[in-house]
Structure 1
């Protein structure tokens, strides 16, 4: 790893930090590096350790507050509505920013987080983009905007945001190879698979422990239903990415998806039991809860018996049933309460969201709840209650808008699978026809997918019985 940058090094990079503490500057760099690489680096003291040392090194360092608050907000598990501590930390940052002579760039960073905290995610991205237009190597602005575009389902923006700054990221700049990985992911989500794979492999050639670039290749193999290639790649690279504690669970999730695709449910459950469930239990992080719920729900759609696995996820998920930070997360929390047959948590999640969504507000996510979130969740509930026709009626009209709830194409595929299963299991001839149409469409997008072939056979059997 490159040496951590002090005040002068940041200034030489054209990214002045308003503090006189070299220690604070270095710790800021250490936090940024760990955030970029998805890894709590124990030799640096982990992100939390570095953040507390950073505050001690210069309690009035505004960008120190900005990176701490940004990580808390963008981690997806907290909001100023829910956390008094975060609310107070945001106020402290705002106060400091007004009482100090900051650079224009630092002021924009503070404003962007202020927008994000009030739920105005697209506006926050506009401000980070403003920073990147004049400071293309501001890694914090780039990474915060990447994560936020992901939450918004803004795939082209995620790709183009990196395209605009990519030429400035020369090999001498610390962490530049990781920017290749960001770019590769945006290209992959917009179906430029060949270019995406080329860049992800370039990034891995520079740093084989780059878990995000490995994850991008996992996505490419998933989207193309290249199961054999996907399985081989995960197996060959496992030792390189498994220590990336923030992303390892998610990479194992991708690995298990290939087995579900093949219909090898026992193999998928083995990965789940050995890697996905234990990591979630120890981290409790929202991404890990999402992966657990998504994995089990896909197996549930395929008719796999899951024993009491749902109950363990529910223990973590139900703490968040009233949070309503991201609609995408809510969908996965709902999967776990439905899977564990916990009616109380299901009702709580739906009624508290309905209440929040009634009031007019600036919150981007809550504004989508009446049009997208609530019909999507109701479709899950109807499907679980055996009302497949109703589930299709709710889900089919919004299927092309669901990108707005965020997540990746691979993650949102669970919604497509739900729609297909609901249509297949419907009593109505028209909806069974719809299921066959959806499967032909899926076959065109992912030729040679074993899952699609399996479902087409099921559709044919349903048809012959009708």
Structure 2
């Protein structure tokens, strides 16, 4: 039995398998583009349980039906040789198996147990954070990383993981400190860069955010498409708030959709959300919806993550794919009906009405959008995603109010963000509302309104 770079025992006698495991863990934590190198470890020792489990986890993280099928043989192999594995390896396999079965609560429980018993297993902690994130459990996301900190004080990746958890818990000052510390320890830590980007966006520090991210962007060239495009997506949001629309469209065409792995669910979601944000600003995005739509057909019946489904169905509606929209809504209803108890209520009470509301907005049926989306807003955290990502659905709801001239209700909706702005940086962006022919410019942390005909075309 050998040990990996974290000092964890691995059931194998193959140094090549250990080398591949070490490389995979580093690639996973750094969001690198060479995670499939774990397959070399399996080639070196086909009986290595943890190598097979890592391969399965890698494919499951792609969140597609095809990737789930790719994960299956590796998970089967891990289970086949499970009797020879040690306790940590067994717990990890149980966690990945629960993930594959959609039992996310059980998966989290196994990763929590690993964090308690084997705190040096940062890859397992990362899996736990991933699940907490898509459940909208920000406290869990932070806690699982914090509990292993004293066993990993030298690991800059963990600093970045804690930074993101702190940001999601609205502990912005601490989050920035941890993210900057991680970057000082290793400049090539894109997740730490990402955590600080969230802080600066929340605080309206647009120019600082652009400088921070663009000065580090050279280190993202070896990232996988997910984090490469996502970090550039954050840069695009800064420019969007500065109303530099041509710059945003250029970033979309070069660094976001232009560099995307177009079959990737997460790359698709990033592109969709940016197009919608542009339209809410009155920008004509041309044929970009139609360019995305062909890649969404395989998503109609997947339902890997509800957060993603809301983006897909909106994009299909904006692209005029009405038959596919109908199929997807029916498929979502069927999925909700058969959903596991752990998620069924969220699907019934949040996901389905939100999906109908998003489709209604895409079709400019704003009264229906208001009726469907309104009840979901207080519980949108249950669909997962970050604050910055979920903010989009609030913008859509507010846009619907504005487009139906329900300005009184729209003003009520922005009261809370407006109050929050009083405690934030002075560079917060502004929202202009027209109330009884009186134009009001309000400092607020979002700005929306897509007119019937786009006012800007690029």
SS class of match (1:458): strand
Shift in Å, 1:462: 5.8
Separation in 2, partners of 1:183, 1:192: 11
Structure 1 residues 27, 300: closer, same or farther in 2, change over 3 A?
Answer: same
Separation in 2, partners of 1:52, 1:156: 34
Matched, 1:253 2:233: yes
Is the CA contact (8 Å cut-off) linking 1:262 and 1:451 kept in structure 2? no
Separation in 2, partners of 1:363, 1:88: 27
Matched, 1:34 2:9: no
Residue correspondences, number: 437
Separation in 1, partners of 2:342, 2:268: 22
Separation in 1, partners of 2:207, 2:436: 28
Matched, 1:227 2:212: no
Structure 1 counterpart of 2:152 = 169
Separation in 1, partners of 2:415, 2:218: 38
Shift in Å, 1:381: 1.5
Which stretches in structure 2 are left out of the alignment for 5+ residues? Answer: 441-458
Aligned match for 1:420, one of 391, 394, 398 = 398
Shift in Å, 1:461: 6.3
Structure 1 residues 449, 284: closer, same or farther in 2, change over 3 A?
Answer: farther
SS class of match (1:71): helix
Structure 1 counterpart of 2:256 = 276
Separation in 1, partners of 2:253, 2:35: 27
Is the CA contact (8 Å cut-off) linking 1:325 and 1:365 kept in structure 2? no
RMSD: 2.2
Separation in 2, partners of 1:102, 1:85: 23
Separation in 1, partners of 2:341, 2:99: 9
Q: Output one character per residue of 1:358-392: Cα deviation in whole Å (capped at 9) or x when no partner.
A: 22x42745552211111001111222233222212
SS class of match (1:260): helix
Shift in Å, 1:231: 1.8
Is the CA contact (8 Å cut-off) linking 1:27 and 1:53 kept in structure 2? yes
Is the CA contact (8 Å cut-off) linking 1:261 and 1:450 kept in structure 2? no
Structure 2 counterpart of 1:137 = 120
Is the CA contact (8 Å cut-off) linking 1:379 and 1:392 kept in structure 2? yes
SS class of match (2:393): helix
Separation in 1, partners of 2:241, 2:376: 25
If each structure's strand is expressed as a fraction of its own residues, which one has the higher value?
A: 2
Is the CA contact (8 Å cut-off) linking 2:136 and 2:382 kept in structure 1? yes
Matched, 1:439 2:414: yes
Q: Output one character per residue of 1:296-339: Cα deviation in whole Å (capped at 9) or x when no partner.
A: 01111222101111122112222212111110111111122122
Structure 1 residues 222, 242: closer, same or farther in 2, change over 3 A?
Answer: farther
Matched, 1:159 2:137: no
Is the CA contact (8 Å cut-off) linking 1:225 and 1:449 kept in structure 2? yes
If each structure's helix is expressed as a fraction of its own residues, which one has the higher value?
A: 1
Is the CA contact (8 Å cut-off) linking 2:30 and 2:157 kept in structure 1? yes
Structure 2 counterpart of 1:43 = none
Which stretches in structure 1 are left out of the alignment for 5+ residues? Answer: 1-6, 41-45
Is the CA contact (8 Å cut-off) linking 2:318 and 2:363 kept in structure 1? no
Matched, 1:321 2:300: yes
Separation in 1, partners of 2:363, 2:161: 41
Structure 2 counterpart of 1:374 = 352
Matched, 1:400 2:393: no
Where in structure 2 are the equivalents of 1:230-245 lying within 5 Å? 230-245=209-224
Structure 1 residues 343, 225: closer, same or farther in 2, change over 3 A?
Answer: same
Shift in Å, 1:93: 2.4
SS class of match (1:63): helix
Matched, 1:193 2:172: yes
Is the CA contact (8 Å cut-off) linking 2:3 and 2:10 kept in structure 1? no
TM-score of the aligned structures, taking structure 1 as reference length: 0.88
Shift in Å, 1:29: 1.1
Is the CA contact (8 Å cut-off) linking 2:47 and 2:77 kept in structure 1? no
Is the CA contact (8 Å cut-off) linking 1:181 and 1:199 kept in structure 2? yes
